[in-house]
Amino acid sequence: MIAIADYGMGNRRSVEKALAHVGAESVITTDVRDASAIILPGVGAFPEAMRHLERSGLGEQLKERAAAGVPLLGICLGMQLLFESSTEHEGAEGLGILPGTVTKLESPRLPHIGWNLVTFARESALTEGLGEAAPFYHVHSFACRPSDASDVVGTSEYGERFVSVVERDNVMAAQFHPEKSSTDGLQMLKNFAALAAVPVA
Amino acid sequence: MHYKRVIPCMDVDNGRVVKGTKFIDIRDAGDPVELAAHYDAQGADELIFLDITATSDKRATVVELARRAADDVFVPFTIGGGVRQVQDAHDVLDAGADKVSINSAALARPELIDELATVFGAQCVVLAIDAKRRPDGSYEAFVAGGRTPTGKDAVEWAKEGVERGAGEILLTSMDRDGTKDGYELTLTQRISQGVDVPVIASGGVGEPQHLIDGLAAGADAVLAASIFHYGSHTIPEVKDALRNAGFPMRPISARA
């Protein structure tokens, strides 16, 4: 069973329905300790999301489960939260599961909204079957700056070229919304669900 | 690569898709969610559902529509109609919609735009403007399906809306809507030049060339309804036409 981490923010239902569409069972929950895989979704501001995660104890659970090798997928703000810190608003510490920081996207027009081509730098479990590049739906103003270049799986271009997919062992993340990216996004979720060893149609 | 968008629009009355000619003479074009899933599979970049049901409390029906759409639609979609306050928008977004479109509620109380942008972010707020040409060549915002003038200049209203936090303008020409004569391009141009957020051109599409004209006039996205609903043109067909005209279009994978 895939747990969709519920901390009161973001597109939980869209993620749940997209997983159902690829035949993966999921549950929206505030307790991810028994899950075979975890998705951390998110829409909103980084500091507020971290406060929710800390207050609810979900943050500790996520760190513990990631360290235990459970597949973990961060989406959009959920990707950013996996890193060490962000400069959004007053700034905040992140979960620190992945090395690196989050800073504002260097672009004249923000937020970055819309379909954009993601170019894959290397093969990964998450992007299997997607070829060398595929379009995904992006909505964000900040971007992750991984300090370990080998974590980078995909990049997008908007004002600057930024990292939009990362993967480090069992921890992976996408800056865009696979659940809103039609067939390519569904393929990505299907790949993640396969890692979770849950039944996939 | 930022792609231009093709957006099929579904006007929904009592749970069914309709498309009227100048908002009168409404015909039935089917189940909105089934149609939307079909458009998603065909390569629609986004979808818009506008609930035009003439009841005082549309909130429950638009939330239900958002819930049903989220089950089967995996591209971003916007819901309009029935959003009058922050709580309405919250319920629609929580049900799975990506954006809400507001029109008459924003004209009645412009602060609604500020409130929605503050709570959900500008990317969730689409300001819909139904505009009609005045004899002097300017344009006026109308409500009630184009029946009631508001006295507001459409270009000024678009600027005010963006200042208040609208992330996108859905611009419909009431003179062209349902005519198949093409978008009102002067209007499209004026609004696109007047604001720095994406403009969705709407009203009057009868053939693929009209969509090309809309993007050439400065729109970031082009909306059409009846040409898709009645099958006179398919989405792959119009996207090919736009691509051939030099506009960047999202490539569609053959993956099921």
Distance CA B200, CA B152 (A): 20
Q: Quote the CA–CA distance of B142 and B175 in Å, as a whole number.
A: 11
Please indicate whether, in this complex, the C-beta atoms of B74 and A117 are within 8 angstroms of each other. Answer: no
* Other CB atoms within 10 A of residue B134 CB: 12
Return the pLDDT at A14: 93
- Could you give the CA distance from residue A81 to residue B165 in angstroms, rounded to a whole number? 26
Confidence bin at B57 (pLDDT 50/70/90): low
Give the residue among A184, A177, A170, A174 at the shortest CA–CA distance from A132: A184
- Annotated catalytic residue within B40, B98, B130, B213: B130
pTM of this prediction? 0.91
User: At what angle are helices B86-94 and B59-72 packed, to 10 degrees?
Assistant: 20
pLDDT above 80 (res B118): yes
* CB < 8 Å to B252, chain A: 183
For the record, the structure tokens of B233 come out as 């043109």
Q: What is the distance between the alpha carbons of residues B155 and B236, in angstroms, rounded to a whole number?
A: 33
Beta-strand (E) ranges in chain A?
Answer: 2-5, 26-29, 37-40, 72-75, 85-86, 92-93, 100-104, 112-120, 133-140, 142-146, 152-158, 160-168, 171-174
Could you tell me how many CB contacts below 8 A there are between chain A and chain B?
75
Of A20, A21, A114, the CB nearest to B2: A114
In this predicted structure, what is the pLDDT of residue A7? 87
The answer to whether the CB atoms of B1 and A116 lie below 8 A apart is yes
pLDDT at B256: 44
- What's the longest Cα–Cα distance across chain A? 44
The token pair at A190 is 């299907």
Q: Classify the phi-psi angles of A32: left when phi > 0, otherwise alpha if psi is within -120 to 50, otherwise beta.
A: alpha
pLDDT digits (tens, 9 = 90+) for B190-234: 999 999 999 999 999 999 999 999 999 999 999 999 898 888 899
* Pairwise CA distance, residues B138 & B203, whole Å: 17
Chain A neighbors of B72, CB-CB under 8 A: 17, 21
Ranking A27-36, A86-95, B156-165, B245-254 by mean pLDDT, the lowest is: B245-254
How high does pLDDT run on average in chain B? 91
From residue B156, alpha-carbon distances to B4, B112, B160, B161 in Å are: 25, 17, 6, 9
What pLDDT sits at residue B254? 58
Distance CA A44, CA A10 (A): 7
Rounded distance between C-alpha atoms, residue B139 and residue B152, angstroms? 9
Q: Kindly list the residues from chain A whose CB atom is less than 8 angstroms away from the CB atom of residue B5.
A: 114-115
Assess contact for B191 and B140: CB atoms under 8 A.
Answer: no
From residue B230, alpha-carbon distances to B25, B122, B172 in Å are 15, 33, 20
Our answer to whether residue B213 is catalytic in this structure is: no
Residue B206: left if φ>0, alpha if ψ -120 to 50, beta else—which one?
alpha
In this complex, the residue of A109, A179, A183 whose CB is nearest that of residue B256 is A183
Closest in B2, B95, B253 to A184, CB measured: B253
DSSP SS3 for B186: helix
CA dihedral B173, B15, B166, B203 (to 10 degrees): -10
Q: What are phi and psi of B151, to 5 degrees?
A: 80, -5
Select the residue from A9, A13, A117 to test the B interface by mutation, using most B Cβ atoms within 10 A: A13
Q: Report residue B41 as tokens.
A: 């599979």
Tabulate helix, strand, coil % of chain B (nearest 5). 40, 25, 35
B72 is catalytic: no
Arithmetic mean of pLDDT, B30-56: 88
Q: Does position B2 have pLDDT exceeding 90, yes or no?
A: no
Chosen from B45, B100, B199, B250 to mutate, greatest number of chain A CBs within 10 A: B250
Nearest-CA distance from B78 to chain A in Å? 12
- C-beta contacts of A64-68 below 8 A and 24+ residues apart: A64/A33, A65/A32, A65/A33, A65/A35, A65/A38, A66/A97, A66/A170, A66/A171
Chain A residues whose CB is inside 8 A of the B96 CB are 11, 13-14, 17
Q: Which residues pair with A155 in a beta bridge?
A: A119, A163
The CA distance from B248 to B251, in Å, is 9
Q: What pLDDT does B255 receive?
A: 52
C-alpha closest to that of A193 among A29, A36, A27, A10: A36
Nearest to B91 by CA among B118, B110, B119, B126: B119
B60 pLDDT more than 90: no
CB A100 within 8 A of CB A145: yes
Contacting A with CB below 8 Å, chain B residues are 1-3, 5, 40-41, 43, 45, 67, 70-72, 74-76, 94-96, 98, 121-123, 167, 196, 198, 250-253, 255-256
Residue of B1, B95, B123 lying closest to A157 (CB–CB): B1
Quote the minimal CA–CA distance from A67 to chain B in Å: 31
Judge: A184–B255 Cβ closer than 8 Å, yes or no: yes
Average pLDDT across each block of 10 residues of chain A; the chain has 201 residues. List them in order: 87 92 95 96 88 95 97 97 95 97 91 93 96 95 97 96 97 97 97 76 39
Nearest to A182 among B75, B96, B121 (CB): B75
